[in-house]
């Protein structure tokens, strides 16, 4: 009379949809390691054209030569770790597969950096290159990025450890979410043209 049922009323979803398999994670890790190896083998001038964070650029440019196998392998793994933390792995792969797009990416980086330095001085240039761009939204992204950096700098000044430099603040503003959104906006408007 009392029967115990072991089935749930709702079917469970397979775990394969929740996270990638171990084999898939290994394939992705090998793919990122191959990307790190490709970056290390690039010429410095070509490397400067890619939108890399300062930390990745430094790690790639200071990779030991192939003769030091252990050190090189550790450095490549470190570069792979840094690449996995960034959001632009697919963009890097695309730029390496299609080198003609690298100069456009360098142009977008330069435009974004100019806007972050002084929006009012470079707003006319922005409108000349991208007439359909939402200028108000771009201005708001620049304000948000500079505001975020100011807050970070104030927090650093209030902390007991003071280890900030001028180049670190320039790097910080490029790595803020509003700054990345501004770069994405430029890329989207460029692809529409």
pLDDT digit string (tens) for 24-65?
889 988 999 999 999 999 888 888 878 888 899 999 999 888
Q: What is the three-class DSSP state of 24?
A: helix
Domain contains 14: no
Write out the residue range of the structural domain in which residue 26 sits. 22-96
Residues 139, 176 share a domain? yes
The total number of residues shown for the chain amounts to 193
Token code pair at residue 16: 């394969």
User: Does one domain contain both 125 and 168?
Assistant: yes
For 20-35, what is each residue's pLDDT tens digit?
A: 889 988 998 899 999 9
Residue 140: inside a domain:
yes
Tokens, residue 68 = 């030091």
Of 6-20, 72-86, 129-143, least confident by mean pLDDT is 6-20
Please report whether residue 62 resides in a domain: yes
- The alpha carbon of 99 is separated from its chain's Cα centroid by a whole number of angstroms, namely 18
Whichever domain contains 89, its CATH number is 1.10.60.30
16 in any annotated domain:
no
Number of domains making up the chain: 2
- 28 and 92, same domain (yes or no): yes
Percent of the chain, pLDDT > 90? 11
Please indicate, yes or no, whether residues 38 and 86 belong to a single structural domain of this protein.
yes
Distance CA 2, CA 107 (A): 74
Same domain, 146 and 123: yes
Averaged over 161-187, what is the pLDDT? 63
Q: Please write the tens of the pLDDT for every residue from 69-104.
A: 789 999 999 999 999 888 778 888 887 887 766 667
Burial class (CB in 10 A: 0-12, 13-18, 19+), 32: buried
CA dihedral 24, 30, 32, 36 (to 10 degrees): 180
CA distance 167 to 72: 27
> Rounded to whole angstroms, what are the CA distances from 2 to 6, 7, 8, 10, 39?
13, 15, 17, 21, 67
Q: Are residues 170 and 124 in the same domain?
A: yes
């Amino acid at each position: 009379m009392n029967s115990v049922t072991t089935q749930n009323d709702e079917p469970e979803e397979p775990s394969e949809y929740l996270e990638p398999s171990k084999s898939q994670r290994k394939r992705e890790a090998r793919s990122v390691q191959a990307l790190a190896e490709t970056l290390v083998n690039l010429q410095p001038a070509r490397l400067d054209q890619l939108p890399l964070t300062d930390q990745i650029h430094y790690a790639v440019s200071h990779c030991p030569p192939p003769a030091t196998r252990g050190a090189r392998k550790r450095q490549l793994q470190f570069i792979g770790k840094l690449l996995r933390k960034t959001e632009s792995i697919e963009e890097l792969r695309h730029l390496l597969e299609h080198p003609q797009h690298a100069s456009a990416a360098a142009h977008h980086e330069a435009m974004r950096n100019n806007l972050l330095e002084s929006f009012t001085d470079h707003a006319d240039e922005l409108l000349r290159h991208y007439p359909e761009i939402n200028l108000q939204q771009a201005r708001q992204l620049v304000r948000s990025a500079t505001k975020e950096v100011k807050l970070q700098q104030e927090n650093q000044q209030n902390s007991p450890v003071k280890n900030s430099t001028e180049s670190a603040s320039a790097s910080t503003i490029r790595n803020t979410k509003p700054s990345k959104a501004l770069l994405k906006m430029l890329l989207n408007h460029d692809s529409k043209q």
